[in-house]
Amino acid sequence: MQMNLTFKVLSVLIVGLPASFSDSQNEESVNIKRPHIIFIVADDLGWNDVGFHGSDQIPTPNIDALAYSGLILNNYYVSPICTPSRSALMTGKHPIHTGMQHGVLYGAEPRGLPLNEKILPEYLQELGYSNHIVGKWHLGSFKKEYTPLYRGFESHTGYWTGHHDYYDHSAVETGFWGFDMRRGMDVAWDLHGKYSTDIFTDESVRIIRGHNSSRPLFLYIGHVAVHSANPYSPLPAPDELVAKFTTIENFNRRKFAAILTKLDESVGKVVAALQSSKMLKDSLIVFTTDNGGPAAGFNSNAASNWPLRGVRKSVQLFPNLYSNLF
């Protein structure tokens, strides 16, 4: 998939950025045609949840197509929870070097990814990129300076916290419960009731179709899928899709399959938009998950990491971990 090839190329880009900046007067470097970068991050997706890893339970044809037409990296490092993993992606540093190693950020926490850290979109901005983020941020929102529009992105449609309900877009955290769906700095009340994956897909397609392809695009799509939502409805999925997975005995796994199906459809629509805009051949597409799946009911989810050990936040092997999911 251009996915993992992109991981390697992005590493080269990031490592080479300071040299590019210092040599900004070099005419040859200025004239280099830079690729569009489309970075799609699934949330809490398990190893065994995708077809290209050998699973035939939940069809993922669009994700599989990326894998089979590109390069699959099966041995790269991510942190086991959201904020540390995303901070590493944005900074290129292990979380211990940015203070992001301990846990996930909650909405009211008075901290975020340190403001003295220059992050990926800020580097790309200096290289002429148009930077847009859709979906999840989860790197701080206590002050406006922590949020995406102050950190190198030109637009953001999505949410600041670690999760929300796919329909009502509220985030339930200890001691707090509030609406978290935004356009830039404004609360997007009009999106209440619309399915999050569809919102993020439509916005991504809109950005691609409206982009002037003579300028390189960095589009970061942080999906809520397949992360569980709030305790009152942990796996929100369209009923018509849930009904298609009657062969899956466990009902939570059936709902999870529907959520994943919407994610896979989103990947297909983004690729199709790149194709119709004649941007695909000049694009590097990365598809990854921020960490492994919270299987066996952990976090009210129903992901599967089989045959790998343990679950999200764990490297332990639990007996009969997956027996109730199939």
Are residues 217 and 129 in contact, defined by beta-carbon separation less than 8 angstroms?
yes
What digits encode the pLDDT tens for the residues 223-234?
999 999 999 999
| CB within 8 Å of 259: residues ≥ 6 apart | 166, 197, 225, 226, 235, 236, 237
Q: What is the pLDDT of residue 1?
A: 35
Closest to 256 measured CA to CA, from 39, 46, 40, 41: 46
The residues of the chain scoring below 50 in pLDDT are 1-28, 315-326
What digits encode the pLDDT tens for the residues 250-287?
999 999 999 999 999 999 999 999 999 999 999 999 99
Write out the H or E segment, with its range, that includes residue 32: none
Q: What is the pLDDT of residue 207?
A: 99
Token look-up 């949410």 returns 159
Write the secondary structure of 103-145 as one string of H (helix), E (strand) and C (coil): CCCCCCCCCCCCCCCCCHHHHHHHCCCEEEEEEECCCCCCCHH
State the catalytic residue, choosing from 36, 53, 82, 227: 82
- Tokens standing for residue 303: 């992901």
Q: What is the pLDDT of residue 284?
A: 97
State the catalytic residue, choosing from 36, 53, 132, 138: 138
Going across the sheet that includes 182-183, the strands are: 186-187, 182-183, 155-159, 130-136, 217-222, 36-42, 283-289
Q: What is the pLDDT of residue 176?
A: 86
Is 138 one of the annotated active-site residues of the chain? yes
**pTM score, whole prediction:** 0.87
Is 82 one of the annotated active-site residues of the chain? yes
Write out the H or E segment, with its range, that includes residue 285: strand 283-289
Q: What domains are defined for the chain?
A: 36-300 (3.40.720.10)
